[in-house]
Amino acid sequence: MNRDILVIGAGVLGLSSALHVKRLNPGRSVAVIDRLPGPGQGNTAKAAGIYLNLHTTRVNYLLGDSTIDWLYHLQGGLGYQIGLHQYGYLYLLDEGRYEKLKRAIPRARGLGVEVRTYEAEELGPLIPDLTMEFGDEEAEQMGLKPITGGVLGVKCGNVDPDALAQSLEAEFTKLGGEVFYGTEAEGLTIKPKMELGLPGEPYVWQDLTVTGAETSRGPIEAETTVVAAGVWAERLLAPLGFDPLMRPKNRVIFVFDDPRLRRLRLTLGFSEVGSLPFTSIPGTSVYLKGDPSEGTLWLGCADDLGRRYGLEDDPQPERGLYEDNIYHALVRYLPCFEGVRPVNSWAGQRAVNMLDRTPVVAPGPGMIYVGSASGYGITKSDALGRAVAALYMGEEEAELYGGRRLRVGDIGIDGRNVGKETFKV
């Protein structure tokens, strides 16, 4: 099989890249392959479905904010029902973290981020289930700190990852793109740019290039191969000596459907949606989100220190992670969880950029790598796909949705220039 462009991975990054490469190059043949049987069935399907633009660097803000605008266009303009609900992203903060985050707000607002702040006395009426002060020895021993404030990103919310992947696939195939599921990339094919036809090729002094991939369907030759395989990209790139600047790490989601959590899930006052925002619990690496479409409450855990790095093809929630670990701190902040157990759970993996937690779009001979999104692939997917398309066409800048522009080299490896993100706790 021969194609002009081969995209490995049918998650949101692969499908977005394929869509925009095909959109700008209608005469070129573009094929997407994925080992799974449908779009976005890897870690895209296991994601929390967050979108946000809470950033203080221009690069991250452009990636996130332009993608959010594109998501609204997909649903409102093109008619895809992708489960968009703008209900904000709320950081609940102890005194130290609150002061730290407030210092970053002017810079974020200067980029265009809409941010609201809440003092403790304002949070109480909005989240009546929340305990903000403890005053007991047990809480002190646990290291739990009183909540003194909150910071809300307004242009943030929920998207259905499955529906998003399906909409990208539909737009791509409308343009004549091809998708081959159940097709695993077993390795990238490397050949000399000028083959001599001699035994022993390639030699160390020859210029090498990627010419496609060996797959379970057979070899696929391509002028350009886009590696968008998420946490599995390292398996393809490590034999080439190409460093994608990422390592895989687990994230776990628990789903609750209990009447004792109804008032918390239907928290009013932060948005017109009438649902609990994505809410980060201080110092616990845990966030909550209300799911308006299902009427459930989700709890995610993506802790850093204490959770090993390592690729897993079928990650599972650690035994006792909720009951023996998360629960003890969670129930102190939110007593409504007393005796409540999840009805479902699953684990996925993030491709964590070890350098600066910002995605990478970088060229190699005959290939383009896109990934290392550190858990924010969905919320930056459209901009990253447009960056891949610009890189393929040899352009220095990508035109993002809405007309804003991004220098592609800023999110590359050589000449990388993303700045230091300060909107974090």
Q: Is residue 421 part of a domain?
A: no
Cβ contact 186:147 at 8 Å: no
Residue 217: Cβ-neighbour burial (10 angstroms; 0-12, 13-18, 19+): middle
Residues 299 and 330 in one domain: yes
- The mean of the pLDDT values for the chain is 93
Position 306 scores a pLDDT of 63
Whether residue 344 sits in one domain with residue 254: yes
Q: CB–CB of 236/368 below 8 Å?
A: no
pTM of the model: 0.95
Q: Is residue 368 part of a domain?
A: yes
Helix 161-174 to helix 377-392 angle (10° resolution) is 20
What would the two tokens of residue 81 be? Answer: 């029902």
Nearest to 297 by CA among 251, 350, 260, 335: 260
* 318 vs 324: CA distance, rounded Å: 10
Give a yes or no: residue 419 inside a domain.
no
Task: Write out pLDDT tens, residues 59-96.
Answer: 999 999 999 999 999 999 999 999 999 999 999 999 99
241 plus 173 within the same structural domain: yes
The CA distance from 313 to 304, in Å, is 20
> How many domains does the chain contain in total?
2
Question: Domain for residue 424, yes or no?
Answer: no
Q: In terms of domains, do 255 and 348 share one?
A: yes
Task: Report the run of H or E that residue 377 belongs to, with start and end.
Answer: helix 377-392
* Claim to verify: residue 365 and residue 349 sit in the same structural domain: no
Residue 53 CA to residue 315 CA, distance in Å, equals 28
H-run or E-run covering 116: strand 115-119
Domain boundaries, position 34: 2-79+161-245+355-411
- Are 254 and 238 within one domain? no
> Where does the pLDDT of residue 295 fall: very low under 50, low under 70, confident under 90, or very high at 90 and above?
confident
Percent of the chain with pLDDT over 90: 81
284 found inside a domain: yes
Query: Does a structural domain hold residue 417?
Result: no
Helical (H) or strand (E) element with 16: helix 12-24
Residue 214 lies in a domain: yes
- 72 lies in the same domain as 125: no
CATH of the domain at 323: 3.30.9.10
Please check the confidence at residue 382 and state whether its pLDDT lies above 60.
yes
H or E, element range at 348: strand 344-353
Of the three residues 337, 353, 369, the one that is the final residue of a domain is 353
Do 48 and 106 fall into the same domain?
no
Separation between Cα atoms, residue 346 and residue 326, nearest integer Å: 15
Which of these three, 306, 336, 353, is where a domain ends? 353
Distance CA 302, CA 4 (A): 38
Give residue for tokens 């696929």. Answer: 220
CATH of the domain at 231: 3.50.50.60
Q: Which of 19-33, 170-184, 304-318 has the lowest mean pLDDT?
A: 304-318
Residue 415, CB-side half-sphere exposure with 13 Å CA sphere: 9
Same domain, 324 and 252: yes
Residues 277 and 306 in one domain: yes
Q: Among residues 353, 384, 399, which one ends one of the domains?
A: 353
In-domain check, residue 423: no
Whether the Cβ atoms of residue 376 and residue 384 lie closer than 8 Å to each other: no
Q: In terms of domains, do 74 and 146 share one? A: no
* DSSP state for residue 309 in the 8-state scheme: B
The residue-averaged pLDDT of 263-279 equals 92
Residues 220, 226, 231, 236: is their CA dihedral positive or negative?
Answer: positive
Structure confidence at residue 302 as a pLDDT band (50, 70, 90) = confident
Q: Among the listed ranges 13-27, 137-151, 233-247, which one has the minimum average pLDDT value?
A: 137-151
Asked if 299 and 270 sit in the same domain, the reply is yes
